[in-house]
Amino acid sequence: MPGEHFLTAALDQEPRLWDYAFGKRVLLATPTNLIAIARTVAAVWRQEKMADEAKKIGALGKEIYERLAVAATNLKKMGRSLNGAVTDYNKFANSFESRVLVTGRKLRDLNIETGGRDIEELEQIDVLARDPSAPEAAPGVAEREDGDLLPAPAGAQG
């Protein structure tokens, strides 16, 4: 409507005009309230877009957290494997020195030809992999048959 007074006169003549127009999905508006309506609609659209983006951010946050949980569990599993390898190395080194090198040294002491090479001393490895210290770094996990680790079901203790 070109002016507020035209809309007022039309509604005075036909009080149900507003409801009729709204039922036909028509909004009766004057230049003054059309601008306010347009601004309101734009603000609602912006809010809706922000809400959609917030949902996407929330979903991405959940996804990255689940992936971090799996990565942390795999890291901890790798640390245990490294520690196992260090322990096995040290056991072998001890056995080698106490059982094999003793015999090798006896041969050397008998002036057996050694090819000019000495047997190198083995050193113990005394450094172990450390576990991730953050409590979030080792949440409960479930292991699949193929060995891949998955986050534990919600509420599971780890």
Q: What is the pLDDT of residues 12-25, one digit of tens each?
A: 999 899 899 999 99
Task: Give me the pLDDT at residue 124, please.
Answer: 86
In the DSSP assignment, the letter for residue 100 is: I
Q: What is the pLDDT of residues 71-84, one digit of tens each?
A: 999 999 999 999 99
The tokens describing 91, both together, are: 């056991």
The answer to pTM > 0.85 is no
Instruction: With beta carbons less than 8 A apart as the criterion, state whether 140 and 156 touch.
Output: yes
